Amino acid sequence: MELFFSNNGGALPLMIKPYQFFAGGPIGKGNQPYSWIHIEDLVRAILHIYEHRLTGVYNLTAPYPVTQQHLGKVIAETLHRPHYFYTPKALLKLVLGEQAMMVTKGQKVFPKKLLSHGFHFKYPNAKMALADLLDQLE
């Protein structure tokens, strides 16, 4: 699973909703890895591949995946909200069905090929990306 962060779609609006209501926290143990990318870096990466006429398969994800626990803490810190309401995996499975696996399993992906072709991320870590996007909401 790769998450793209944007104020106009993607996973971010859904992820911050519990924090906006002071109800954010870890999902399960929070150990699941999340690969993610800021929408601006996603567009820049696609343009980089096009402009350099690169071919093949590329992982369009930031270079530093995070755990769900870390990502939640960064969201909470950025929004000045708590991060302590635990969400059991069983509850997510009950509410979301098979889609719960996207949130409870996670995936760790690295952009090795993209980096090897000279791409530089404007938002390489989750804290920088979320600070930029969540600042725009205020």
Report pLDDT digits (tens) over 38-60: 999 999 999 999 999 999 999 99
Pairing of strands 33-38, 9-10: unpaired
Task: Name the residue with tokens 């992820």.
Answer: 15
In this predicted structure, the answer to whether residue 66 has a pLDDT above a threshold of 60 is yes
Residue 76's H or E segment, with its range, is helix 68-79
As given in the structure block, the two tokens for residue 112 are 């090795």
Burial letters 48-84, b for 16+ CB under 10 A, else e:
bbeeeeeeeebbbbbbbbbbbbbbbbbbbebbebebe
Residues belonging to the chain: 138
Quote the pLDDT of residue 2: 58
For the stretch 75-85, pLDDT in tens is: 999 999 999 99
Q: Find out whether 3 and 35 touch, Cβ atoms under 8 Å.
A: yes
